[in-house]
Amino acid sequence: MKYRWLLGLAVIGMISCGKSNDTTPPIPIDPVEPVDTVPIANYDITLLDYTTAFQTNPIVYPMARQDYNELSGIAASKINNGILYMHDDAKNAPIAITNTKGEDLGTIILDKVNTINPEDISVGPGPDATKSYIYYADIGDNNFNRALVTVYRFEEPVLTGVSAQMQIHVTPDIIQLKYPNSSLNAETILIDPLTKDLYLASKETNQSTLYLASYPQSTTSITTMKPVVKTRFDLLTSGDIAPDGKAILLRNKGQIFYWTRDVSKTIAATILQTPSRAPFAANEPQGEGIGFAADNSGYYTNTEIKNHDGSVSNISFYKKNGN
């Protein structure tokens, strides 16, 4: 009897040990998805009020050079009165120098670089507080195959004796940027004149994310941009910030959006607020660029005419009321 009792205890022990060494895999637990903390603008862009800040009928001038048929970007000089910069959306396109009447006043050529798909241009502050800078945004990526995009920055030249034959050669700073997750197409650059921060807005169907590259932007290493606000704007083609930092414009081919800004707020915080619709005369077959006048007296737009037979390349100026 004693031995039977001991044998029973041994069997129980073996069963117990078998349970403790059970190799059955545990029930899988779903991984916790990262929380997207990028704020989303929740206004309805189809129900925006129209601003009364600008005249609805623009002053229109045809470009003297109609061979600039892929215009994509427009920016007003801060140091050369009445001068505008624009460019074609084409590989290694020079920057066209013109004025408010569309005259041919020469070109700026970037040396030692090869642009791929320049889409926008801006004028703003930079490393030297006593100078003005041109930012040339080579950021187009229709096929989503660019690991990096580039913004070229150089000091704005002082122009004297401008003419159609004038060529100015510059060697720019190279600001290489990447998106945090994947390649994106973009056609909009914004330079905050108050902070010198650089923003790119993606060009997507029924949405756009604003990405930030804070000042000082590196010219020796790649900067990964930070998403700061998501919007529902469709296929944005350009934008600008007023010279005093107190207003913002974004546009697509058929609409223009306008914000007034409390300068204590960031660009992202301002864009989270409901904008107004700004005037657009629907006089552009493929509206592309937009830029504030240097004296903040209104804004300019331009258009691409390639593949639009019979269209004329124009500059339109929407004057600010009260100016």
For residue 193, pLDDT over 50 is answered with yes
Q: Measured between alpha carbons, how far is 291 from 166 in angstroms, rounded to an integer?
A: 24
Beta strands 107-110; 95-99: pairing state:
antiparallel
**Residues 263, 251 contacting (CB under 8 angstroms):** no
Q: Which of 20-29, 204-213, 263-272 has the lowest mean pLDDT?
A: 20-29
Average pLDDT of the segment spanning 215-236: 98
What is the reported pLDDT for 245?
Answer: 98
CA atoms of 288 and 291, how far apart (whole Å): 11
Q: What is the mean pLDDT of residues 92-120?
A: 97
Other C-beta atoms within 10 Å of 128: how many?
A: 9
Task: Give 273-307 pLDDT, tens digit per residue.
Answer: 999 999 999 999 999 999 999 999 999 999 999 99
With the CA atoms of 297, 301, 115 and 135 taken in that order, what torsion angle do they form, in degrees rounded to the nearest 10? 10
Q: How far apart are CA 315 and CA 301, in angstroms?
A: 6
- Tell me the Ramachandran region of residue 235: left when phi exceeds 0, alpha when psi lies from -120 to 50, beta otherwise: left
The answer, yes or no, to whether the previous bond of 216 is cis (omega within 30 of 0) is yes
More confident residue, 13 or 254: 254
Rounded CA-CA distance 242/6 in Å is: 92
pLDDT tier, 323 (very low <50, low <70, confident <90, very high otherwise): confident
For residue 48, give the DSSP letter: P
Q: What is the pLDDT of residues 72-81, one digit of tens each?
A: 999 999 999 9
The domain ranges of the chain are 39-319
More confident residue, 173 or 31: 173
Tokens of 245: 């930092």
Average pLDDT value for residue range 136-164: 96
pLDDT digits (tens, 9 = 90+) for 19-62: 444 454 454 444 444 557 999 999 999 999 999 999 999 999 99
**Residue 159 scores a pLDDT above 50:** yes
pLDDT at 173: 98
Average pLDDT over the chain, rounded to an integer: 91
> Cα 302 to the chain's mean position, in Å?
17
Q: Print burial letters for 165-196: b (CB count within 10 Å at least 16), e (below 16).
A: eeeeebebbebbbbbeeeebbbbbbbbbbbeb
What is the DSSP-derived secondary structure letter of residue 10?
H
Write the DSSP symbol of residue 69: -
Give the number of other CB atoms < 10 A from CB of residue 70: 19
CATH number corresponding to 39-319: 2.120.10
Report the predicted TM-score, pTM, of the whole model to 2 decimal places. Answer: 0.89
pLDDT value of residue 313: 96
